[in-house]
Structure 1
Amino acid sequence: MVATIRFHELGGPEVLRYEDLPVRSPGPGEVRIRVDAIGLNRSEVNFRTGTYLYQPRLPAGLGSEAAGEVLEVGPGVEHWTAGDAVSVLPSFSQNDYPVYAQEAVVPASALLARPPELDAITGAAIWMPYVTVYGMLAELVRVRPGDYVVVTAANNSIGMAAVQAARYLGACPVATTPSGGQRATLLRAGAHAVIATDELPERNEHGEQPPLTEAILAATEQRGAALVLDAEGGPAVRQLVQACSPGASVIVHGGLSGEPTPLPGGQYPPVWLRRYTVFEITGDPAAMRRAEHFVRAGLAGGALGSLVDRVFDFADVVAAHNYLVSPERAPGKPVLRVR
């Protein structure tokens, strides 16, 4: 029996329960791992509240990003053995393979080798953000040196990863963040400029451009963005499109605004607007191999760094989930330490 975190009803963090449950043996193509650390994502908040891409099957576990050690391999698994240090990459449904537990069964295809210099806390935090960002910067669109790349909600782990990865590729990342208090951290991470949305006026005094559009154009020397990585969605997409150069791309990879994302009408630069999730990369073995090499090279050279923001003990999952949605959250990824 191992301690497992589940929920029996939709709701706030208070619905999370600790339960002692058995762990089954791995089946074909699966492995059983000891979970040492769990990377926390906003998607788990949405899953818990019933607002994610798919609905939970109650009672449900949750989580899809972790680090630990292989304990047992199932039939047909050839590349992993007991004792291997691994990270778990999100590439499966939380209904099928939840990792909020002391032990978990996951697909062998979701594992990445964790080198000795990468501890479990870091190993649980880096892969989802950097792989997500790699897909947008190098697979969907090939960002070029000198391109202005706008990163919205840059105070979360994907935003921090995007700032570092865009700079790594020679681009000029322009970060937006809810609070000016996060400016210094984002500039240290490599942002060319930081726009704090709480400092923008409600409307432009001259009435020429919306405030966010004007701020982005100013940060890009009036050239406009070649690429926008938008974690928020909602009506503000119109302002982002207005701040683009002709032929730019706007990739909406999240829905933090909680509002529908319209297809902008009217007089705007011609842009490519599309949705994206990390499963486009993790579900494509060739793209995933390229992503893994990109991340490992960036880490080895120091261009990409740890994304860990704050570490919570396994017993403090309610506090951790409250922090995930807190306006006081610092840039980076919270991690749940199991051991």
Structure 2
Amino acid sequence: MPRVVRFHDYGGPEVLRIEHADVRNPGPGEVRIRVKALGLNRAEAMLRTNIYIETAPLPSGLGLEAAGLVETVGEGVEGLAPGDAVSVVPSRSMVRWPAYGELAVFPADLVVRHPPSLSWEEAAATWMQYVTAYGALVDIANLNRDDFVVITAASSSVGLAAIQIANLVGATPIAVTRTSAKKQALIDAGAAHVVVSDEEDLEARLGAITGPEGVRVVFDPIGGPSFGPLTAVMARGGILIEYGALSPEPTPFPLFAVLGKSLTLRGYLIHEIVADPVRLEAAKAFVLDGLGSGALRPIIARSFPFDQIVDAHRFLESNDQFGKVVVTV
């Protein structure tokens, strides 16, 4: 019987258990994969603590990203065959399609044959970060070479993906990070400018970088008090795309900046790309092209073996990582 990860109570990383359990055969339009690596995401920690947009009935599996070999294909699946090396675009429900296990079932339209140049760890670290950043910056904001884009939580996997995508389309990425500990690493990762928000005046520094033009695009997973300085430096007609809620503090609505500059504040989750077949295919093509050219390359913070899934989740929540946390199976 294959091993899977489940939790029987909500709580910290210690609630995760490795258990032996049957993994169902793929249904119509599904694929079962023998997993080689997993990509870890904040969403999984949120599901585990019962603060996610999806509620897990207990006991529950979890996990959004995996890479491995196709083992079995369900009825009606075309273009995939047993033995194919694949990775997985995050599904709309990790409760229905949990990734954490030696075997896992996914919708076939989310299973992608990735470039052979990627390792299993890199393949498992690909789709959440790049599709999330692509959907916001390219699909929604139409980022281009004349734009400044502010990327907060820049040392996260999605933040680093956004830096790479900004450079790919010719925009100027401005990375925002809390401390100077990761400043040089962000420059090395392609940030044109780095602002250290705990040590610098965020509004003044962004204003000095962008000048009177201001920032057309802000990409933020934090919320909270930073909405004030961020919107203060935005260009007329600019767009702030919010894809998370990491700040424990209230998020003020910047009424006068929004009114005075005709700003758009846009909530966004990867699910809106995944749920739209046309937008999803465009995202896959963009990411595969970027991976093929080398313009996009996943940055791995640390890799853990499957037996250390609890330690991997502790590290995920430490905020010490630079890039993606992965688990090898």
- TM-score interval, normalised by the smaller of the two chains: over 0.9
Is 1:227 the counterpart of 2:229? The answer is no
Is 1:294 the counterpart of 2:283? The answer is no
Residue in 2 aligned with 1:212? 202
Q: Distance in 2 between matches of 1:64 and 1:327?
A: 20
3-state SS of paired residue (1:153): coil
CA drift at 1:114: 2.1
3-state SS of paired residue (1:46): helix
Q: Distance in 1 between matches of 2:60 and 2:217?
A: 37
Is 1:335 the counterpart of 2:317? The answer is no
Q: Distance in 1 between matches of 2:299 and 2:287?
A: 13
Does the Cα contact within 8 Å between 2:92 and 2:274 map onto a contact in 1?
Answer: no
Is 1:310 the counterpart of 2:302? The answer is yes
Residue in 2 aligned with 1:188? 188
Q: Distance in 2 between matches of 1:303 and 1:119?
A: 16
Q: Distance in 2 between matches of 1:317 and 1:53?
A: 22
Residue in 1 aligned with 2:242? 252
3-state SS of paired residue (1:256): coil
Amino acid at match of 1:184: Q
1:97-132 per-position Cα deviation (integer Å, ceiling 9, x unaligned): 101001011111110112322221110001111111
CA drift at 1:307: 2.2
Is 1:13 the counterpart of 2:5? The answer is no
Unmatched tracts of structure 1, length 5 or more: 201-210
Residue in 1 aligned with 2:130? 130
Cα distance change on mapping 1:75 and 1:260 into 2, 3 Å: farther
1:208-247 per-position Cα deviation (integer Å, ceiling 9, x unaligned): xxx3211211122343211000011123212211110111
3-state SS of paired residue (1:69): strand
Does the Cα contact within 8 Å between 1:156 and 1:333 map onto a contact in 2?
Answer: yes
TM-score in terms of structure 2 length? 0.96
Does the Cα contact within 8 Å between 1:126 and 1:307 map onto a contact in 2?
Answer: no
Does the Cα contact within 8 Å between 1:234 and 1:261 map onto a contact in 2?
Answer: yes
Q: Distance in 2 between matches of 1:112 and 1:294?
A: 13
3-state SS of paired residue (1:280): helix
Within 5 A, what are the aligned runs for 1:110-149? Answer: 110-149=110-149
Q: Distance in 1 between matches of 2:261 and 2:304?
A: 45
Percent identity at matched positions? 45
Residue in 2 aligned with 1:81? 81
Q: Distance in 1 between matches of 2:291 and 2:227?
A: 32
Which sits farther off after the overlay, 215-224 or 315-324?
215-224
Residue in 2 aligned with 1:319? 311
Q: Distance in 1 between matches of 2:159 and 2:147?
A: 17
Amino acid at match of 1:300: G
Cα distance change on mapping 1:131 and 1:327 into 2, 3 Å: closer
Cα distance change on mapping 1:117 and 1:327 into 2, 3 Å: closer
- What number of residue pairs does the alignment pair up? 327
RMSD over aligned Cα atoms: 1.3
Q: Distance in 2 between matches of 1:279 and 1:12?
A: 25
Q: Distance in 1 between matches of 2:98 and 2:251?
A: 30
CA drift at 1:260: 4.3
Q: Distance in 1 between matches of 2:190 and 2:74?
A: 43
Is 1:273 the counterpart of 2:291? The answer is no
Residue in 2 aligned with 1:285? 277
Residue in 2 aligned with 1:203? none
Amino acid at match of 2:120: A
Amino acid at match of 1:333: K
Q: Distance in 1 between matches of 2:269 and 2:250?
A: 17
Does the Cα contact within 8 Å between 2:115 and 2:292 map onto a contact in 1?
Answer: no
Q: Distance in 2 between matches of 1:31 and 1:48?
A: 25
3-state SS of paired residue (2:224): coil
Q: Distance in 2 between matches of 1:126 and 1:327?
A: 20
Q: Distance in 1 between matches of 2:316 and 2:274?
A: 24
TM-score in terms of structure 1 length? 0.93
3-state SS of paired residue (2:314): helix
Cα distance change on mapping 1:17 and 1:71 into 2, 3 Å: same
